[in-house]
Amino acid sequence: MEIQKHIPKPVFTPTHKLVDPSHPMLNEPPEKFDFANPQMDPIELSELLVKHMQHFGGIGLSANQLGLPYRVFCMVGEPMHVCFNPIITGMGDEINMLDEGCLSWPGLYLKIKRPASIRVRFQDYNGDMVVKKFAGMSARVFQHEYEHLQGEHFVEHVSRFALDRARQKQAKTLNKVRKQLRDANKKIQTR
């Protein structure tokens, strides 16, 4: 029917917030996802993770970032991966340095060295074992998200000095964003 065209698409409303980086949830390894006795429906959990990642504009998101204490994360790619109980079984010799950000530290970007390629194992949402080799951005995102499941953080990779400098930049970026939001609101009010 013609009228259908004018009905806006349903907007996704997040059901979970990103927990603060100081929260124990992000500082302790979460429990294994138990397919024999699932803590929650794995398909529901997969959808929840992917939708929140897209909503927050990330390229990877671990369950504990949303306050869900399970060893699961999702990451963008073709196809999209949701990795249950992931482990890194091998790393390549080549190391690369890339700018990395994290949804839990908005606006903070750090140059971090990590292996350029990895071999991994994880379970898909059916509990089936998947063995893969990742390189490039996928390898980077996998290692970043895997670290969240170890209760560790990307900020632990850099020196105090580098972190302080990045935090100053972060404050500037956040101030700029806040100012843009204020200006946008003013425009709306004066219309």
Q: At its nearest, how many Å lie between Zn ion and the CB of residue 172?
A: 21
Q: In the complex with Zn ion, which residue's Cβ is closer, 97 or 181?
A: 97
Counting residues that bind Zn ion (by CB under 5 A) gives 1
CA 182/CA 51 separation, integer angstroms:
28
Catalytic member of 145, 147, 152, 156: 145
- How distant is the alpha carbon of residue 173 from its chain centre? 20
Measuring CA to CA, how many Å separate 8 from each of 11, 12, 50, 53?
Answer: 8, 12, 21, 22
- What b/e readout covers 121-155, taking b as 16+ CB neighbours within 10 angstroms? ebbebeeeeeeeebeeebbbbbbbbbbbbeeebbb
102 makes contact with Zn ion (CB under 5 A): yes
DSSP character at residue 177: H
Q: At its nearest, how many Å lie between Zn ion and the CB of residue 63?
A: 12
Q: In the complex with Zn ion, which residue's Cβ is closer, 9 or 88?
A: 88
Q: In the complex with Zn ion, which residue's Cβ is closer, 35 or 109?
A: 109
Whether 78 is catalytic: no
Q: Which stretch binds Zn ion (CB under 5 A): 36-44, 100-108, 156-164, 170-178?
A: 100-108
CB atoms within 10 A of CB 74: 27
Q: In the complex with Zn ion, which residue's Cβ is closer, 115 or 127?
A: 115
Two structure tokens written together for 145: 């998200």
Q: Which stretch binds Zn ion (CB under 5 A): 13-21, 29-37, 88-96, 101-109?
A: 101-109
Q: At its nearest, how many Å lie between Zn ion and the CB of residue 73?
A: 9
Q: Which stretch binds Zn ion (CB under 5 A): 22-30, 47-55, 99-107, 108-116?
A: 99-107
CA 190/CA 84 separation, integer angstroms:
50
Residues with catalytic roles: 145
Q: Which residues bind Zn ion (CB under 5 A)?
A: 102
